[in-house]
A and B are shown apart, each in its own frame.
Chain A
Amino acid sequence: MSILVAGAGGFVGRRLVEKLHAEGRPVIAGVRKPRESFARLGIEQRIFDAEKPETLGTALRGVTHVVNCIMGSPAAMVASTRNLAEASVKAGVQRFAHFSSIAVFGNAEGEIGDDFPVGQNVDAYGQAKIDCEHLVRKAQQEGLRTVILRPALIYGPGSEQWTARIARLLRWSRLGDLGAAGDGICNLIHVDDVVAAAIAALDRPEAANRAFNLAMAEAPSWNRYLMDFGQALGFTPIFRVPGRNLRIETKLVAIPLKIAEIVTGKLGFGQQLVPDLISPSLGRLFNLDARYHSARADIVLGAPAVGYADGLRQSANWVSRQ
């Protein structure tokens, strides 16, 4: 058995590689640029850019299991997934675990189980994730044994989007108790639970050729998460964000921030320079009344093990150390 984690430089990929290595599994980190931390641990690294199929030639040599954690722009994700899946078919890979997202369900509300139809008002990211799933299924028809994982919002140590960014917005009192604007459900899943599910997806025979939602049971409301996390971080008393503030954030402030983000990105400055923006879609997410159920994963891959309180504590400790 030899496991290649493609996109090992990313948040989930890195954590997955470290976990597999810690368990003594034969793991190879697939990265675009070699990482010092992997080298220190003596983890084999293979350098490739999955967007360029020609670089994949030797990447899959001897690999029996692939996990696709590659993130990027919609076009990059689709191209990478196509190339990686096709190469995996050719290389006779035994198991191909693919990271999709609950973004495939778009803005659908209500109780969303593993077989809920995808594609309702999805954004570009969600559409790319749907396209990727199609490519994975195509490879499946060509004999590749695949597993599709659709994690909810991945939080915990290392999570830039749902832990670090939220912490910064809480610190600046740009988020807090949102009142009527924060009644949506905050469908979290701890990164360690995601990693555990990915490993189970490689190991368990019955996981093959199925798709799994990954979400915590009894997820809190956004207001609850923002307040609990704020408390864990010690940013108290929690600020009650007036509805008008959030409207100004999403409708006015987000525009110059987005432009600044693009410009500094093009100029090659660090992203840290630009303050976080609260996009209109993030604003809508705070009120999305959707609850994702991971019944299939709970049975086949194992139910999430990290409790909400533990997850918050770990997250707050990690943020404080940064």
Chain B
Amino acid sequence: MMLEASQLQSATVLSTQLCIVGAGPAGISLALQFIGSGIDVILIAGGKAGHDEAAQALYAGEVADDALHSPLTEYRHRQLGGSSATWGGRCMPFDPIDFERRDFIAGSGWPIGHDDVAPYYPEANVLAEAGDFQYDAKKAVEGGMRPIAEGFNPVSFDNDRIERFSCPTDFGSRYRHRLAHAANIRVLLDAHAVEIRAGGEKVEAIVLRTLDGKEITVAAERHVIATGGIETARLLLASRSEAHPAGIGNAGDQVGRNYLCHIAGTYGELAFAPGTPVFHGYDRAWDGVYCRRRMALRPEIQREHGVGNVVMRLHHPRLPDPAHGRGILSAIYLAKPFISYEYSKRLHGGDAMTPGHVLRHGFNILREPFGVAGFLLNWVKVRTLAARKFPSLIVAPRNNRFTLDIHAEQVPNLDSRVTLGAGLDIFGKPQARVDWRYKPKDIETVRVALELLRRDAAATGRASLDFDPEGVAEAMLRDGAYGGHHIGTARMGPNPDTGVVDRECRVFGTDNLYVSGSAIFPTSSQANPTLTIVAFSLRLAAHLKREFLPKRSEIRTSAIKGAAA
């Protein structure tokens, strides 16, 4: 059932069994698991079914360094479906090494292992509409995926661990009808959580406000915060009270710390011998899902060199430099004003367009006008009109010289933080302040991976990598923290001194408050977070269902005892 919060009377108190705050991939995936369960659920969406400026404005906040982090109203969507509205759709699971305690990475190690979440990945893949849970290049496509290049097997890397792409699925439009249809689920639209009310260890209610000034309270037996890496910290910190003077779950001063994104950028030049067939595009699995190879630094090599997790993809040359000579790249460069902020940021870089640049890009287009026109027509077919969209721009460079698209783990960092800023939103709730920071280790991971690839590529005799080790930091920080991946602000830990939630995602210091979403990830992996967010929601759903049925288990236990007697 869908309810507009503004249609309710002010001071309405709704009671339910499970209250989920946040209707992005985490909250929606969680709510879906309760359809038909007999457990009454309220799912709170901090926005309307589509984009709404007034709701979006509630995301406004401060950023410590504009060069390192995007504004807080970007890469985030305050609406039903949350930021999946702008999702690129890239899916791959976390690796087992991501969960391990690694001596060379301070703050690494989860209180659970890969095996604890692995059972939930296949269903997460279905919900994310990324097809079968098959991430092996040899099996994802019948007969195996095409190799990057024959004989090109850099030994420190695994070329067979692929990424698969969602449609990309907007969880709001995709699952709205199922939520609206479910008798035991109430979706409260345009309801904005301003406080978690807890007198002690028991959370009593979530206080909501509407844009027209009403106050609504949802009192549940169990509450889940699923509002993303930034808002989760903001809501926990803003819920200060006598019982929780530093905010909820913050007795150990951990909330908002270890704010991680990914270290990413394009760099280096990987040159294959002219004429060598190189494939860096997509294969399609039987179910239509686009699959792509990546070069993943092997876990034993990460351990050997004491660096984090990292993947690299072959990439077209950077757009702004017209020297790439490709008309289509120039066309996309010149189309910058028509491309959304989220996508144009990394495509176009921060460089300003000069008339000379524009002219040279124009000549690139005129050099291959039919190639450009054909590409654009095909783009309309496979991207604009398609429901399952071709995931990204694939353009082969001239002369077989590729750049590398790098996506690396950012290591835990207590000083990289989301805190409460000085500003208030229209409800008087403090805005978030983001001070994203990185460590030398983050850059070192990329530099070491590049060094290894240079050595390994040369050993294959098929390609050579050229890059300047001194330039790695600048290349990786040119666009700042990778946008949209907000990780770690309510990290899972063994105790409240090093974490915010326990292994079941329950907030330390509370009985009945949980967090779902990438806020709970203690480490960031090489993987984009969405698939793992969904997997953890499924895991939390299974846990909550067990929690909601204590009586049945008691009955069973007593029955077993009775039978034994």
User: Once the chains bind, are B181 and A289 in contact (CB under 8 Å)?
Assistant: yes
- Give the shortest distance, in Å, between B125 (CB) and chain A (any CB): 14
Chain B residues closer than 8 Å to A200, beta-carbon distance: none
- Give the shortest distance, in Å, between B353 (CB) and chain A (any CB): 35
Which one of A21-29, A53-61, A138-146, A176-184 is at the interface? A176-184
- Give the shortest distance, in Å, between A173 (CB) and chain B (any CB): 10
Given contacts A240-B167, A242-B387, contact A227 B287 (CB under 8 A): yes
User: Once the chains bind, are B286 and A237 in contact (CB under 8 Å)?
Assistant: yes
User: Once the chains bind, are A238 and B177 in contact (CB under 8 Å)?
Assistant: no
Chain B residues closer than 8 Å to A240, beta-carbon distance: 167, 288, 386-388
B178 at the interface (CB under 8 A from A): yes
Given contacts A180-B173, A240-B386, A240-B388, contact A231 B287 (CB under 8 A): yes
Given contacts A177-B288, A231-B286, A238-B287, contact A183 B386 (CB under 8 A): no
Chain B residues closer than 8 Å to A183, beta-carbon distance: 177-178
B404 at the interface (CB under 8 A from A): no
User: Once the chains bind, are B177 and A287 in contact (CB under 8 Å)?
Assistant: yes
State which of B176, B177, B288, B385 has its C-beta within 8 Å of the C-beta of A239. Answer: B288
State which of A176, A180, A242 has its C-beta within 8 Å of the C-beta of B177. Answer: A180
Chain B residues closer than 8 Å to A236, beta-carbon distance: 286-288
Q: A239 to B288, alpha carbons, bound, how many Å?
A: 6
Given contacts A177-B388, A179-B387, contact A238 B288 (CB under 8 A): yes
Q: A180 to B179, alpha carbons, bound, how many Å?
A: 12
State which of B174, B181, B284, B286 has its C-beta within 8 Å of the C-beta of A179. Answer: B174
Chain A residues closer than 8 Å to B288, beta-carbon distance: 176-177, 236-240
A241 at the interface (CB under 8 A from B): yes
Q: A179 to B178, alpha carbons, bound, how many Å?
A: 12
Chain B residues closer than 8 Å to A227, beta-carbon distance: 287
Chain A residues closer than 8 Å to B289, beta-carbon distance: 237
Chain B residues closer than 8 Å to A179, beta-carbon distance: 129, 167, 174, 387
In this complex, what residue of B is CB-closest to A231?
Answer: B286
User: Once the chains bind, are A237 and B387 in contact (CB under 8 Å)?
Assistant: no
Given contacts A240-B288, A289-B181, contact A180 B174 (CB under 8 A): yes
Which residues of B from 250 to 301 have beta carbons under 8 Å from A? 284-289
- Give the shortest distance, in Å, between B481 (CB) and chain A (any CB): 32
Q: A241 to B385, alpha carbons, bound, how many Å?
A: 10
Which residues of A from 214 to 256 have beta carbons under 8 Å from B? 227, 231, 236-243
Q: A43 to B388, alpha carbons, bound, how many Å?
A: 52
Most chain A CB neighbours (cut-off 10 Å) among B176, B177, B181, B387: B387
User: Once the chains bind, are A180 and B167 in contact (CB under 8 Å)?
Assistant: no
In this complex, what residue of A is CB-closest to B287?
Answer: A238
Given contacts A177-B388, A179-B387, contact A237 B181 (CB under 8 A): no
- Give the shortest distance, in Å, between A121 (CB) and chain B (any CB): 16
Chain A residues closer than 8 Å to B175, beta-carbon distance: 180
Chain A residues closer than 8 Å to B177, beta-carbon distance: 180, 183, 287
Q: A179 to B387, alpha carbons, bound, how many Å?
A: 9
Q: A242 to B289, alpha carbons, bound, how many Å?
A: 15
In this complex, what residue of B is CB-closest to A221?
Answer: B126
- Give the shortest distance, in Å, between A285 (CB) and chain B (any CB): 15
- Give the shortest distance, in Å, between A112 (CB) and chain B (any CB): 14
User: Once the chains bind, are B387 and A243 in contact (CB under 8 Å)?
Assistant: yes
Q: A287 to B173, alpha carbons, bound, how many Å?
A: 15
- Give the shortest distance, in Å, between A246 (CB) and chain B (any CB): 10
- Give the shortest distance, in Å, between A250 (CB) and chain B (any CB): 16
In this complex, what residue of A is CB-closest to B290?
Answer: A237
Q: A241 to B181, alpha carbons, bound, how many Å?
A: 22
User: Once the chains bind, are A242 and B385 in contact (CB under 8 Å)?
Assistant: yes
What 1/0 mask marks residues of chain B from 153 to 181 whose CB sits below 8 Å from any chain A CB? 00000000000000100000111111001
- Give the shortest distance, in Å, between A286 (CB) and chain B (any CB): 12
Chain B residues closer than 8 Å to A241, beta-carbon distance: 387
Chain A residues closer than 8 Å to B386, beta-carbon distance: 240, 242
Q: A241 to B178, alpha carbons, bound, how many Å?
A: 19
User: Once the chains bind, are A237 and B174 in contact (CB under 8 Å)?
Assistant: no
Chain B residues closer than 8 Å to A176, beta-carbon distance: 288
Extra A-B contacts (7), CB below 8 Å, given A238-B286, A242-B387: A177-B287, A180-B174, A237-B284, A238-B288, A239-B288, A240-B167, A240-B387
- A sample of 24 inter-chain contacts (CB < 8 A) reads A176-B288, A177-B388, A179-B174, A180-B175, A180-B177, A183-B178, A227-B287, A236-B286, A236-B288, A237-B284, A237-B285, A237-B286, A237-B287, A237-B288, A237-B289, A238-B286, A238-B287, A238-B288, A240-B167, A240-B388, A241-B387, A242-B386, A287-B177, A289-B181
Which A residues are within 8 Å of any B CB, using their own CB?
176-177, 179-180, 183, 227, 231, 236-243, 287, 289
Which B residues are within 8 Å of any A CB, using their own CB?
129, 167, 173-178, 181, 284-289, 385-388
CB-based closest 5 A-B pairs? A240-B388, A242-B387, A237-B288, A236-B286, A240-B387
